[in-house]
Structures are given as structure tokens and as C-alpha cells.
Structure 1
Amino acid sequence: MTLAHDVDGDGPAVLLLHSSVCDRRMWDPQWPALRDAGYQVIRCDFRGFGQTPVPDRPWSEAQDVRDLLDELRIDRVALVAASFGGRVGLEVAARWPDRVSALTLLCAGMPGHLPGPELRAFGQREDELLEAGDVAGAVDLNLQTWLGPEADGATRDRVREMQRHAFDVQLAATEDVPRLDLGEPDLGEITAPCLAVSGRHDLPDFRQIAARLPDLLPDARHLELPWAGHLPSLERPAEVTALILDFLRETLPGR
């Protein structure tokens, strides 16, 4: 199954990977700017998000991303990835380092990371709300947890719509399909330059991951945004778009 996706522009390829709070629409603010800067821009929905249905057989998000690149005949791509998408991006870059030219990670997760107490408490409360049938309450919990103080009302409404849609799709699934067990990826295999961005208002897990990546990867640096929560590309889209473009121009100049 092919992931639902969009492609536009001409030049070096940039693939946008979304947070699990959102879907590919989270990149609406960045899409035209990246295209106009001389890049071929791709964005996709993971399985169970946006327009991609839930899986009907064992699957791996990283393998899905590689399959999409193969289908589009893209040999090498820069990844711009948020949160869970960042975890997937790190796995793709570790398993197939020759396919990834650069990594921009926004408040990324990381393969093998063990959740801290705040993240575990969030997951437990979300499960309780969903098991009680309070989907609206679970959506509100996600907005309260993941959006920082800079997010305006329109942004909150946009994230609410994407998260509610994901819950509706996933809760309607009649079968629990396991992920493929590909083994733990070795982040030491990553060769792409990496910019790891964190938000000061984010949960400690994601701040700690971003701060650790320069010690784990051969060419990585960490930038903390003092104003940001967990979704900075939506909280201050113009500022984060400029940040992404600056790093891409440094590592992968557009046409």
C-alpha cells in the first residue's frame, strides 16, 4: 500500500514527516516556501493518519517511507520531521544512510527511547480517556500537552481537527495489526548532517533527545527555541520555515 502523499516543485528532494498529533496537513505553512526555494517537496500520511488507512498487514513506518521514495524514484532525500516523524526519520537515516542527505528534526522522538514520567503519565491519561469513550477529552489533552504558548486559536483548531480525525480512523479499526520487527536501528550508521531542534516548553523527553543527538551522530547540532512547545512549525510557522530553509541551503542548496 502506498502512503497518501503530495509532490510539488523541482530540485533536490525534501520529504516532510508529520507528528502523531497531526497528519501531512501540518506542513501547509512550509509547503509553498520550500517549493519556491527550489526544492521538490513531498509530504505523506503515515498509516492511520490523514488519507492513509490503518494497516491491514504487519508494517513499518520506516519501510513505508523507503517504499514511497522507491515508487517516486527518489534516490536521496532531505528529511524534515516532527515528533514521531522524527523518530521515523532517524530510523530511515540509520537503516539506509545512502538515501538521506540531511535531517531537520523538530522535537523528535528517538528509536529505543524509554519514556520519562511525564510522557508515561500523558500516555496513561490518554488511554483512560479513549477507553472511557471520551474522544473529545483525549483530543483536548493532546492540545494541552503538545501546543506551546505561541499557538493561536486557528492553529489549535487545525491541530484539533487532525488529531480528532486520526482518533476516529484508528478507533474504527477492527483488527490490531502488529508492526514488523526490523530490530533496533543503529543510529551510529547515520551519515547525514542533522539539526536537532527542541522547545523549552516541551516535555523533558524531547528536550533530552535533541540535546543528546550531537553526542550520538557524527554531524549534528542542537538548537533550543525558548518560546516553543512541541510543535514549533505550527506555533511560529514563519520563523521555523526560515530556520528549515537556512539549514537546507547549508546542506542541500536548492535550484
Structure 2
Amino acid sequence: MTLSHDVAGDGPVLVLLHSGVCDRRMWDAQWPALIDAGYRLVRCDLRGFGETPPPDRPHSDAEDVLALLDGLGIARAAVIGSSYGGQVALEIAARQPDRVSAMVLLCPALPGHEPSAELRALGEREEALIETGDIVGATELMVDTWLGPDADESAREAVRQMQRHAFEVQLAAKEFESDEAVVDLTAIQAPSLVLSGAYDLADFRQIADRLPHLLANADHVELPWAGHLPSLERPSAVTDLLTGFLKEKVPVG
């Protein structure tokens, strides 16, 4: 199955991977600016998000993205991942390090991370709301949790629409148990920028703080204004961070 995706622009390839509460539309604000900066962009909906159907068998999102790149004839790319998309980026870079030229990880999740009591409690609240059929309440919980104080109403509405759609699609699908990916982060050689938000849950701040010690070539920057989805909270500020990093690590021309 081919992931629903968009491709535009010319130049070095950037792959944009969305968070687990969004879909590929979360990159709408960065899309034209990165094209104008001279890059060829690919963004996709992972299975069960946006326009991609849910899985019909156990699968790997990292393998899906690699298959998409193979289908597009892309041998090497920089990867930008938000939250769960950051985890997928790490899995891709660990499995096939020669295919990843650079990474930007925004508040990434991490394979094998043991969730804190706070994160487990959030999951339990979400599940309880869903079990009672309160999809609106579960959606609002996600909007309130994952967006920081700088998010305006348009950002909140965007996350609301993307998360509500994901709930509806995934709840109508059959569930599959997939094994947690085991990856060797020491295999990753790509220069990486890890961003975290001062208003994010502690799990993700701790992951971002750890990654420069786990990866061969990574820097960590905490954004004092950000929650968990900085590219939606201050789009232009994140676009500037991305273009500045890419100008140095993935130059155009």
C-alpha cells in the first residue's frame, strides 16, 4: 500500500513526518517556505491518519516511509519528524543510515522509552473517554495537552480536526498488535537538531535531553515558549530554525 503523500519543489529532498495527533497537514505553514528555500519536499500520512487507510495487518511505519521513498526513486533525504514522526525518523536513520543526510526532531518520541506515570495517566484518561464514546472529549484532551500557550485558535482548530479524524478512522478499523521496534541509535551518523518545548510533558523534554548523548552528531535546543507541537504554535519561528539548520547541513546547489 502506498501512503497518501504530496511531492513538490526541486533540490535536495526533505521528508516531513507528522505527529501522532496530526497528519501531513500539520506542515502547511512550512511547506511553501521550504520549497522557496530550494528543497524538494515529500510529506505523507502514516497509516490510519489523514487520507491513508488504517493498517489491515501488522506493519512498520518506518518501512512504509522507506517504501514510499523507493517508489519515488529517492535514495537519500533529510528527515524532519514531529513527536511520533520523530521516532519514525530515528527508526529509518538507524535501519538505513546511508539514506538519511540530516534530521530535525521536534519533541520526538523514542523507541523503547518507558512512559512516566504522567504520560500513562494521560493515556488512561484518553482511553476512558473513548470507551464511553466521548470522542469530542478525547479530542479536546489532546488539543489541551499537546499545544503550548502560544498556540492560537487556528492551531487549536487544526489539531482538533486532525485528531478527531484520526480517532474516527482508527476506531473503525481492526486493531493489530505490533512489536516495539528495536533499533541501534549508534548506527545513526546524520547531523541532527533536536528541539524540545519548555511547556511539554517531562517525557519528551527528557528524551530530547538524552538524544545528543545517544546520537553521534546531535544538538539539543529547548524552546522556552513551546509545548509539544512548536511547528503549529509558532510556525514562522520553527520555519526559521529549519531553514537555518538545513542551510548549513543540507545546502542547496
1:76 alignment partner AA: R
Runs of 4+ in 1 over 6 A off after TM superposition: none
Q: Assess if the C-alpha contact under 8 Å between 1:198 and 1:207 holds in 2.
A: yes
Q: Assess if the C-alpha contact under 8 Å between 1:57 and 1:178 holds in 2.
A: no
1:176 alignment partner AA: E
Deviation at residue 117 of structure 1 after TM alignment: 1.3
> Any unmatched runs of 5+ in structure 1?
none
Deviation at residue 178 of structure 1 after TM alignment: 3.2
Q: Deviations over 1:123-147 (max 9, x none)?
A: 1100000011100000000011100
1:219 and 2:197 aligned: no
1:231 and 2:225 aligned: no
1:252 aligned partner: 250
1:158 aligned partner: 158
Deviation at residue 239 of structure 1 after TM alignment: 0.4
- The aligned runs of 1:24-43 (5 Å cut-off) are 24-43=24-43
Q: Assess if the C-alpha contact under 8 Å between 1:107 and 1:231 holds in 2.
A: yes
Deviation at residue 57 of structure 1 after TM alignment: 1.7
Q: Deviations over 1:65-117 (max 9, x none)?
A: 11011001100010011000001100100011011000100000011101011
2:175 alignment partner AA: D
Partner SS for 1:150: coil
Deviation at residue 183 of structure 1 after TM alignment: 4.8
> Any unmatched runs of 5+ in structure 2?
none
Partner SS for 1:25: helix
1:239 alignment partner AA: A
Partner SS for 1:10: coil
Q: Assess if the C-alpha contact under 8 Å between 1:6 and 1:43 holds in 2.
A: yes
Q: Assess if the C-alpha contact under 8 Å between 1:199 and 1:226 holds in 2.
A: yes
Q: Percent same amino acid at aligned positions?
A: 62
Structure 1 vs Structure 2 CA RMSD: 0.9
- TM-score, length-scaled by structure 1: 0.98
Deviation at residue 118 of structure 1 after TM alignment: 1.2
- CA 1:70–1:21 in 2, change beyond 3 Å: closer, same or farther? same
Q: Assess if the C-alpha contact under 8 Å between 2:198 and 2:223 holds in 1.
A: yes
Q: Assess if the C-alpha contact under 8 Å between 1:101 and 1:192 holds in 2.
A: yes
Partner SS for 1:222: strand
Deviation at residue 161 of structure 1 after TM alignment: 0.4
What is the alpha-carbon distance in structure 2 between the residues aligned to residue 144 and residue 134 of structure 1?
16
What is the alpha-carbon distance in structure 2 between the residues aligned to residue 254 and residue 17 of structure 1?
21
What is the alpha-carbon distance in structure 2 between the residues aligned to residue 89 and residue 215 of structure 1?
17
Q: Assess if the C-alpha contact under 8 Å between 2:112 and 2:180 holds in 1.
A: no
Deviation at residue 254 of structure 1 after TM alignment: 2.0
Partner SS for 1:88: helix
2:100 alignment partner AA: V
